[in-house]
């Protein structure tokens, strides 16, 4: 980097920091008791120092100062990549799966609890991934389907005593219906209108759950939901136990997550998956190639809804309590952040995203309040620096722009 370019960079940095101070100080410094500068200056100084260091490092990296360290590191990572690449994918999958199965045997209750939430969010993230990642439809009301699934099981369990396993497909079907009802009028719209309309629908579902007292008990929620049962045949009649402990819940959701992963993977490689991708890349071209675009979008939307509904039914069984509070817009944004962070359209990416967004904050417990703040910022910055996510999706086939 030349000297003038560098000077310009630092000048821009100085202006940005000045701007930051002007924006930060009034929020923290003006109090009815008087003006104070200490708190905002302290925060500002931290931000300024950290970003100055990062900027300097980035500049030095551009000049090749770190080549002595980065070259061997790169060579090492390449060698590692080659070595791991030689091991077949299925061995990795078996290893990961075995790790997941053994996990509750070697950990504590608290870790089980966190692992269960991670798995629930993996299911949700994969479902949303079908809609956003594969079909390219930005859905900001996805959590509504989670809510529909949860309330379906909750109501069926409380009023009719139906079994979890019977309700699971019913919840999926209900969510799919909800997806069709919401999708049919909205999916003709252009991408960004769709985002805000799905947001509206998500809010409508929550408001209805909150106010339909006779059905949902409003904000009080529904209590007394049964956990899943395990059934077997013994001495001429059916025996059963309730799978009420955390470990048992863990295995139930692990099974559900594995099914979801397999289903989404198969979907990705199917004709329908290709059609999703075609609609995402260029709707007009897809239509010209004979893809029924509205039908495909509706399919993507309701398939995503099914996974959401299944996860919702499990959530109701796990908590044994549902209330509208669990289905706010922030939850939708969380799931979306997972998909975006991990890499849109990529299954391992979504799993990574769920781990990062659910498990990391558990480790940094003290920063609980800053969670959404950081994720919002990261989501915006990801689009600038790594729009394809942490683990980008592999694209299938050969593209014309790559061939040239």
Partner 1 sequence: MAPAFHKAQHVEVFLQQLVNGITLGGVYALVALGYTMVYGIIQLINFAHGEIFAAGGYMGVILISWMVAQGYPPFVCLGVALVLAMGYCALLAMAVEKLVYKPLRSSSRLSVLLSALGMSIFLQNGLMLTQGVYDRAYPGEMVQGGFEIGGAVVSYMQVVIVGITVALLVGLNALVFKTRVGKAMRATAQDKTMSALVGINASRIISLTFAIGAALACAAGIMVGMYYGSVRYDMGFVLGVKAFSAAVLGGIGNITGAMLGGLIIGMIEVFAAGYISSEYKDVFAFIILIGVLYFMPTGIMGENVDDTRV
Q: Which residues in this chain contact partner 1 in the complex, by CB under 8 A?
A: 16, 19-20, 22-23, 26-28, 30-33, 35, 136, 138, 140, 185-186, 188-193, 195-197, 199-201, 203-204, 207-208, 210-211, 283-284, 329-330, 333, 336-337, 340, 369-370, 372-373, 375-384, 387
Question: C-alpha 291: how far from its chain's center?
Answer: 28
Chain position carrying tokens 């999916």: 187
* DSSP secondary structure of 263-308: HHHHHHTSHHHHHHHHHHH-HHHHHHTT--HHHHHHHHHHHHHHHH
Q: Judging by beta carbons within 10 Å of its beta carbon (0-12, 13-18, 19+), is residue 323 exposed, middle or buried?
A: buried
CB 261 within 8 A of CB 311: no
Q: How far is the CB of 202 from partner 1 (least distance, A)?
A: 9
Closest CA to 172 of 185, 198, 199, 153: 153
* Cβ-count burial 13-43 (b if 16+ within 10 Å, e if not): eeeebeeebeebbeebbeeeeeeeeeebbee
Could you tell me the two tokens for 319?
């908590």
**Minimum CB distance to partner 1 smaller for 188 or for 269:** 188
Give the shortest CB-110-to-partner 1 separation in angstroms: 26
Least Å from the CB of residue 348 to partner 1: 20
Shortest spacing between CB 244 and partner 1, in angstroms? 34
Q: Closest separation between CB of residue 38 and partner 1, Å? A: 14
- Residue 212 has, within 13 A of its CA and on its CB side, a CA count of 12
Q: Which of 26/255 has CB closer to partner 1?
A: 26
Q: Smallest distance from the beta carbon of 4 to partner 1, in angstroms?
A: 21
Residue 280 or residue 318: which is nearer to partner 1 going by CB? 280
């Amino acid at each position: 980097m030349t000297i003038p370019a560098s000077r310009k960079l630092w000048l821009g940095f100085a202006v940005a920091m000045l701007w930051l101070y002007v924006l930060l100080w009034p929020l923290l410094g003006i109090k009815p008791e008087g003006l104070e500068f200490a708190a905002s200056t302290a925060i500002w100084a931290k931000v300024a120092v950290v970003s100055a260091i990062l900027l300097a490092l980035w500049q030095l990296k551009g000049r090749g100062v770190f080549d002595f360290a980065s070259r061997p590191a790169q060579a090492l990572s390449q060698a590692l990549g080659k070595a791991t690449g030689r091991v077949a994918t299925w061995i990795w999958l078996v290893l990961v799966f075995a790790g997941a199965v053994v996990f509750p045997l070697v950990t504590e209750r608290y870790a089980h609890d966190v692992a269960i939430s991670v798995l629930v969010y993996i299911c949700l993230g994969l479902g949303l991934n079908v809609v956003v990642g594969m079909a390219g439809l930005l859905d900001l009301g996805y959590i509504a389907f989670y809510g529909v699934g949860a309330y379906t099981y909750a109501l069926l369990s409380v009023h009719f005593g139906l079994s979890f396993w019977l309700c699971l497909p019913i919840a999926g079907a209900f969510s799919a219906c909800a997806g069709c009802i919401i999708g049919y009028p909205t999916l003709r719209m252009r991408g960004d209108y769709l985002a805000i309309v799905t947001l509206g629908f998500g809010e409508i579902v929550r408001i209805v759950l909150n106010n339909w007292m006779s059905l949902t008990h409003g904000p009080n929620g529904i209590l007394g939901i049964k956990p899943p049962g395990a059934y077997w045949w013994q001495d001429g009649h059916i025996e059963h136990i309730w799978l009420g402990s955390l470990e048992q819940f863990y295995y139930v959701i692990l099974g559900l997550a594995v099914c979801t992963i397999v289903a989404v993977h198969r979907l990705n490689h199917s004709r329908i998956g290709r059609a999703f991708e075609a609609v995402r890349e260029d709707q007009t071209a897809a239509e010209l190639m004979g893809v029924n675009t509205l039908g495909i979008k509706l399919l993507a939307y309701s398939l995503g809804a099914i996974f959401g509904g299944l996860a919702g039914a499990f959530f109701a069984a796990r908590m044994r309590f549902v209330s509208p509070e669990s289905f706010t817009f922030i939850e939708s944004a969380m799931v979306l952040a997972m998909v975006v962070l991990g890499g849109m359209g990529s299954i391992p990416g979504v799993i990574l995203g769920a781990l990062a967004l659910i498990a990391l904050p558990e480790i940094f417990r003290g920063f609980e309040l800053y969670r959404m703040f950081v994720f919002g910022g990261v989501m915006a910055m990801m689009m600038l620096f790594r729009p394809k996510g942490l683990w980008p999706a592999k694209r299938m086939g050969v593209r014309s722009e790559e061939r040239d």
